[in-house]
Amino acid sequence: MVRKNLEDARDYARNVARQNDLISQDSVAAEDKFLFIDRSEFYEQAQPKQTSLSGVASSIVVLPEFTNAVKGTSKTYGAWFDTTVQTNPVANTRRFMQFNTQSLADSITVVSGNRIVMPVSGVYDIQFSAQLSTTSGKADFDIWLIKNNTDVSWSNSRIEAEANTAAATIAAWNFMVDAVPGDNFQLGWSSDNTAARLLAASGLTSPTRPDIPSVIMTVAQV
């Protein structure tokens, strides 16, 4: 239990003049004090203690909803990319865009290399760019959003990659999603051509320049 700005806080055997529950993020201010009541301490009638807002933020690390409230206007975010060529060995099969490298993140996580897990309730912007390529013939790519392992209705788009192994077609757009803690999202894709791939490239010279990931993704709470 967490209480905010108690006046005349005393031991558990006596009354407290005022008890205000922390019920809204908007009610959190930098100068506020918080009272923590642990159930085991309650039964032992231990003396409650007050701590500063910064103390709350550093100690309640296992409660992302409350941590987000304490931080006030801060939002969760994350960025990932993949350094491998992602192939399509079986045509017309649902696949997931993979991410093997994290650029940065605050609370949002990627599980099993493709599942984006949201830590707190809110609206999120999922943006991606993928390098679509084919080693033989042209290929159609379908790309869509998956929420909690269910395809999201009307989220699919189709884009064509030309039969040119030296070039790639860039697919880049975003999805706005509403989530509660624990909701997970994936970027699904499929192609009718087994030569289709999400292309990564490294060791680029003349001039020397950065490597190219097959997929880049950013996720930000808005």
Examine the domain organization and report whether 81 and 53 are in the same domain: no
Q: Which domain holds residue 135?
A: 77-221
* pTM across the whole model: 0.69
Burial class (CB in 10 A: 0-12, 13-18, 19+), 128: buried
- pLDDT tens per residue, range 87-131: 999 999 999 999 999 999 999 999 999 999 999 999 999 999 999
- What is the pLDDT averaged over residues 149-153? 98
pLDDT for 167 equals 77
| Calpha distance 75→108 (Å, rounded) | 10
Report, as an integer, the average pLDDT of 169-196: 97
Report the CATH number that the domain containing residue 217 is assigned in CATH: 2.60.120.40
Confidence of residue 74 (pLDDT cuts 50, 70, 90): confident
Check whether 203 has a pLDDT greater than 90: yes
Boundary residue ending a domain (26, 49, 71): 71
Residue whose pair of structure tokens reads 């933020």 in the numeric block: 57
Rounded Cα–Cα distance for residues 179 and 188 (Å): 18
| Of 33, 49, 71, the domain-final residue | 71
CB 108 within 8 A of CB 77: yes
Assigned token pair, 207: 């001039």
How many Cα atoms occupy the beta-carbon half-sphere of 83 within 13 Å?
8
